[in-house]
Chains A and B, each alone.
Chain A
Amino acid sequence: MKEKFMEFRDLVHYKFNQGLTLKMKLMLYLLSLVGGLLILLIIILYLVGTFSSIASNTQLTLSSNLIQFSDNITASYDELAGRCVNLSERLTSVIENQLLESDDTIKSLNNERNEIEKLELNCYDTLTWAIESANCSGGFIIFNCTVNTFIDNSEDYKSGIYLRIMDVNSTRPIAPDYMLYRGSSSLVNQEDIFMHSHWKPEFNISEFPINTTDSISQELYKCYCCTEVFTLPDSTERVMLIYVPILASNGETYGYCGFEISSTYFSLMYSSFNTFEEDILLLISPIENNTIYSNRGFMTFSANGEYNELLSDPISIENKGSLYEFTSVENEFIGMFDIIPLAPLGSDWAASVMLPYDLYLHEVNTYQLKIFSLIALFAAIAILFTIIISVKYINPVLRGLDIIRNGDSKKTSIREINDLIEYLAQQDAIINQQKNIDCEESIDEATLTAFIDNVKSLTRAERSVYRMYLDGKRAPEIAELLCVSINTVKSHSKSIYRKLNINSRKELLKYAKAMKRLETDDSPPA
């Protein structure tokens, strides 16, 4: 490598010693200037962080998405919890009113179909009012009683109402249509609502991840729960429930009530927070030991559905500087997460904002390609201008040099060259004058007399050659003009020199000039 460099350096030195053309030299200086400016530009771009801006922009966008997303989720769930508590308190009042009428307890309603249907009907309006004012896709009430204690596993069955909104949409309908998922079929007729395709008259509590066994010793607002996301029994819809107990004044538990958030509703609600690209994924899920369990959480739908299978995989999180790397079995993401307080009881939850790693790389590469393309474009344009400027600047100089070389007296567009031409012309005149003086001084009178006499003795052919010498022509030109060979011209020249007693063309011209001057001086004035 070093040898190659030395070879190159020697070559450059050799070329420089050989001498560069003016054009090349100017171009080299301009190219050095362009190179210097490019290096300066790159340094400035580097210092202002242009090269790393896509990474920091991504970080900023993910960060702002995460803040917005987690704040909204937290606020939304907090409000839902508050509405749960409010619903519970209202239901306590409704249930107590009915039980007081007949001096019953909730357990005494077991096997009392009419009383249970009446209770469901009495609670229906309270539930629909709560659903319509909450951010949810449905709501439910579970009573601690069943319509039939004589069937198998009757301890698992609880009466109640579970309503789901039919027209789940990103904009809440003013008066939504409901589907009865659980509850007495008489509600369908009485309230003119739809029956869910997987309707059943009662809850099988073992199918729902609702904890009914914990003793409730805390304040109501401290004991609301969020279930993990589960598939609604008999259907394919994934939902999460937020619920609180319904407590009687005497501490008895009447049952549970709460709201449902479906995966469709979650996706419709929170996709709007995505301000970056359609491929960004927003996820809430339980987190344990740096692993998030997307199958137990919600994720906004990706635009093309490509990552929806992610829901079945746990995703491990690893810190990679300012961003985190999220890795599942088949996919890799970069992103950020935040622990969010969804409920005082149950798992820890994380809100995550993730961008597919492939997409991130693509964005970075695209951006860098753009920057380097622009720099290269700048360099190409600079080189183009370098060439044009060199040519435009040097060409008139070269033309001037040609004029000087030919001894023309033409003017150029460069004042300095014009001055030089003028100067050179003056110098030529001085030299010629000096030459004339020199010539006059060396003329031999005897030789001149013989020259004048002998000129007349020249033959016709010799005279032709003699005249052409006087016209300033040289032997090859004379041969060409007279259509004879150069040898013939040389032969004539020798003969002329011998007859005129001279030795060279220069002497011939000198004595011819002197003869002409004598003839001019002797001639009478006109």
Chain B
Amino acid sequence: MMSIKHWIIVLLTIASLLVCGCGCSNTRNSKDTVSLNMWYILGRGSSGTLQDWVTDFNEGYGAEQGISVNMVYGSDTDTLTSKLVESAAGKPGSASLPDIAVCSLTAIAIGKNLFIDWNDYLSQDELSEYYPTFLAEGQYDGAQFILPTTKSTDVLFINKTLFDVFAEDCDITYDDLQTWKGLFETAEKYSDWAAESDDARINETNFFMAESIMDYLQLGAASLGESIWNEYNELDFSNIVFQRVFTDYADSVIDGGTYIGNEGVISAMISGKIVVGLAPSYHYSNFSNKIYFFDNSTMPLELDVLCSPYFSSGQPVSLLRSAGLAVLESTEQKNQAAAVFCSWLSSMQSDMHSIGSVPAKTTEMYDYLLSESDLPSENMVRSVLMSSFLERELISPNYSPEYYTISVKLHSVIADCLSSNNYADSKAIFYQLKEDMSNS
């Protein structure tokens, strides 16, 4: 006969098992999912493949880790930074600040204390895997605010279809586009050639356009060993090199060889407005294979890529482009989750980078640049990237917090001055620019 103690033990065991049984059935949804909102850079006229990677993360590794990333807003660098500034300032009606922003260092204009320092979330060994120049681009005041993913550089995109017709008539080659002087002279020749064309569509085309005038100015000045910025992060209007670089560009606009507009190089090229554009190389895969002219007629678009020009009295330099990942300070749980996502994304970069960009990690970058593709077009881009990244001096744009404010103002002032047709002399525009910038 069992003693009372035995009975009690048996019954308590049964009771415990039953209670556990009840509890276990509630564990299905017990793991809370950390939801992260992400803002990302969407180049004008482009749609990146980041969405596909985020979907892969959410359905795979993210689901395992209980992390879900929502891509809630995409825009260009300036607009994104502007929206971040509005949100950080609590402007009525502005969106909530995201948890992750794919952005450049200009975003820290909203306040560096709003971002996490990657040094706190990644080990020095992990950080040392990145190409030092790329890593340095995301540093400010000793902190690593931006974690690079992929990198590109400004290159010349050429609508070969249109260029070939013009080149044959005017005896022009790609060699003429190696220097800024050659490019602007070619643009002037194109302007004359297009004006005389019987094709109304050609009449309306310009030769050249820069995606960002600021980037052209920085690239040009760096080629001449100077900077357009003074020690106070202000535009250095007293610098003769700045004046020369600017007036060369402005002259070309006045002559009609260079187009200035709000749209980006891709939009301008696929709508038949330009033949050659200076833009970040990652845009390569975002061009369509057709040009749609204003009269709804089409023309095949064959794309060629060249290294960015330089001033013949200076040296070839390349401007680093592309943004990285920044995490905005939130709860420690969200910070950790964001770090997990960014590390995952970063580990995928050898597969993630598109034609026109290189992985930000040193080993992966060299692997990519030194390998060959079966596609001739990809090899062409790779060759240009190799020259740009490995044979030229790499220049980082001045991504100081002040850059954002100055960039927005400068673009607007330059666009106003150049499109008003009131200035026949580029130097007059430069002085007007100086005056407008001083007033602002």
Q: A residues touching B (Cβ–Cβ < 8 Å)?
A: 113, 146-148, 151, 157, 166-167, 169, 171, 173-174, 177, 184-186, 188-189, 192, 194-202, 277, 304-305, 362, 366, 369-370, 373-374, 376-377, 380-381, 383-384, 387-388, 391
Contact = CB atoms under 8 A, between A and B. Distances in A.
Nearest to B94: A174
A197 B297 contact: no
A173 B95 contact: yes
B42 interface: yes
A197 B45 contact: yes
A166 B271 CA distance: 20
Contact of B292 (A169, A186, A192, A201): A201
Given A192-B262, A380-B15, A380-B18, A166 B294 contact: no
Contact of A195 (B58, B271, B295): B271
Given A167-B72, A188-B262, A197 B294 contact: no
A305 B59 contact: yes
A369 B286 CA distance: 56
B65 to A, nearest CB: 13
B440 to A, nearest CB: 19
A175 to B, nearest CB: 8
A181 to B, nearest CB: 12
Given A146-B296, A167-B72, A189-B263, 18 more contacts: A113-B294, A166-B74, A167-B75, A169-B73, A185-B273, A188-B263, A189-B261, A194-B42, A196-B45, A200-B292, A305-B55, A305-B59, A369-B21, A370-B25, A373-B21, A377-B15, A380-B11, A384-B12
Most buried by B among A151, A169, A173, A194: A194
Nearest to B259: A189
B315 interface: no
B438 to A, nearest CB: 25
Given A147-B296, A169-B95, A380-B18, A197 B47 contact: yes
B266 A195 contact: yes
A195 B47 CA distance: 10
A384 B263 contact: no
- The A interface, classified by DSSP as helix, strand, loop or mixed, is mixed
Contacts of A200: 292
A387 B94 CA distance: 69
A177 B44 CA distance: 12
Contact of B297 (A148, A173, A383, A387): A148
Contacts of B370: none
A185 B294 contact: yes
A366 B94 CA distance: 44
Residue with the highest number of chain A CB atoms closer than 10 Å, among B261, B266, B267? B267
B75 A166 contact: yes
Contacts of A194: 42, 44-45, 76, 267
Contacts of A167: 72-75, 95
B133 to A, nearest CB: 30
Q: Which of A167, A171, A366 has the most CB of B within 10 A?
A: A167
B288 interface: yes
A188 B46 CA distance: 14
B428 interface: no
Given A304-B63, A366-B25, A369-B25, A188 B267 contact: yes
Contacts of B22: 369-370, 373-374
A395 to B, nearest CB: 10
Contacts of A189: 261-263
Interface string B27-58: 01100000000000010111100000001001
Contacts of B101: none
B72 A169 contact: yes
Contacts of A184: 294
A148 B15 CA distance: 83
Contacts of A380: 11, 14-15, 18
B375 interface: no
B89 interface: no
B232 interface: no
A304 B31 CA distance: 14
Contact of A201 (B42, B73, B294): B294
A392 B10 CA distance: 19
Interface in B275-333: 286, 288, 292-297
A362 B262 contact: no
B11 A147 contact: no
Nearest to B33: A303
A195 B45 contact: yes
A388 B294 contact: no
Contacts of A374: 18, 22
B14 A391 contact: no
A201 B271 contact: yes
Nearest to A277: B29
Contacts of A369: 21-22, 25
A192 B411 CA distance: 13
Contacts of B28: 362, 366
Contacts of B46: 197
A305 B52 CA distance: 13
Given A167-B73, A173-B95, A185-B263, A373 B59 contact: no
Contact of B4 (A148, A195, A304, A388): A388
A193 to B, nearest CB: 8
Contacts of A185: 263, 267, 271, 273, 292, 294
B114 to A, nearest CB: 20
A177 B292 CA distance: 23
Give the most central of B12, B15, B94, B286: most A CB within 10 Å: B15
B271 to A, nearest CB: 4
Top 5 A-B residue pairs of the complex, sorted by shortest distance between their CB atoms:
A185-B271, A195-B267, A174-B93, A366-B25, A197-B47
28 contacts: A148-B295, A166-B74, A169-B73, A177-B75, A185-B271, A185-B292, A185-B294, A186-B294, A188-B263, A194-B44, A195-B264, A195-B266, A195-B271, A196-B45, A197-B47, A199-B270, A304-B63, A305-B55, A369-B22, A370-B22, A370-B25, A373-B22, A376-B18, A380-B15, A380-B18, A381-B11, A387-B7, A391-B4
Interface core residue of B47, B76, B294 (most chain A CB under 10 Å): B294
B295 A113 contact: yes
Given A305-B59, A373-B22, A377-B18, A151 B297 contact: yes
Nearest to B13: A380
A390 to B, nearest CB: 9
Nearest to A117: B294
A151 B299 CA distance: 13
B79 interface: yes
B11 A384 contact: yes
A380 B13 CA distance: 10
Nearest to A381: B15
A200 B273 CA distance: 14
A200 B270 CA distance: 9
A171 B292 contact: no
A111 to B, nearest CB: 8
B77 to A, nearest CB: 13
Interface in B124-143: none
Nearest to A375: B18
